[in-house]
Amino acid sequence: MPVCAIAGLAALQFLLLAASALNAQQQTTSKATSAPAPKRDLSGLWHYQGNGGSEPIAPDNLIPPMTAWARTRFDAERPGYGPRRAPAGNDPILQCDPIGFPRIIFLNTPFEFVQVSGRVIQFFEHEHEYRSIWTDGRALPEDPDPSWYGYAIGRWESDDTFVVESAGFNDKTWLGSSGYPHSEEMRVTERYHRVDHDTILYDITVTDPKAYTQPIVGPHRIMKLRPKDEMVEEICVPSEEKSFANRVAEPAASKPSK
């Protein structure tokens, strides 16, 4: 066999071996990055993969028609951000009032699940808030006292899906920075589906017949595990919020939106 043919054959074999090794490495990496989820465990620091800002519970086109009660409330709101922004906005967070649930879940800040006996605790970096999700089999109270973050119970629907039902919210918070209101009749259902070790597929439905003619069904959202991150102290300080409003928010709100 000619020397050039032997050299060509050797080169081909080398390329085939290199391709095979690269393919094996890629498969190993793929398996490592998509390891299976642990059973019935959401522990860890998670980050919603949003657009980097405060999002509403659903895009405008997915918000069902409002009732007359909600429309009156909506028209009276003066957001400090977004296309409806107005001077002297009355967004609750501009006064350092609690942002409330579910709005807090859609911020560009992490939260952490800690599982203990009888409940799952959800800690939020924003405002250093938390809520208890009871998993001891209790039912939602029939007439809970209204609060900023409501009363929540949870159950495992399967080894990888945690379902949370909440009620008992006051009506002082918004469903996003654009001013969508809700009433004290609001009920929230969440599904945390841990599709693999590092990923949660999140779904949320809000039912509030006093405010909306149909349930609000949010789009599928992704949350990612951040094992190397740590939560920092992020507290709303009234003096700092007022300074920010004077320097940034108010001047921006006074300009017509495009």
CA 255, CA 86: separation in Å to the nearest integer? 9
Predicted confidence at residue 147, as pLDDT, reads 96
Predicted confidence at residue 237, as pLDDT, reads 84
Domain boundaries, the chain: 44-253
Q: Are 98 and 149 in contact (CB under 8 A)?
A: yes
Predicted confidence at residue 84, as pLDDT, reads 80
pTM: 0.80
Token pair listed for 150: 């409501």
Predicted confidence at residue 56, as pLDDT, reads 87
Residue 149 sits at the vertex; the CA angle it makes with 143 and 155, to the nearest 5 degrees, is 75
CA 94, CA 111: separation in Å to the nearest integer? 22
Q: Are 171 and 181 in contact (CB under 8 A)?
A: yes
Q: Which residues of the chain have pLDDT under 70?
A: 1-33, 52-54, 239-258
**DSSP reduced 3-state for 31:** helix
Predicted confidence at residue 199, as pLDDT, reads 97
Q: Are 118 and 135 in contact (CB under 8 A)?
A: yes
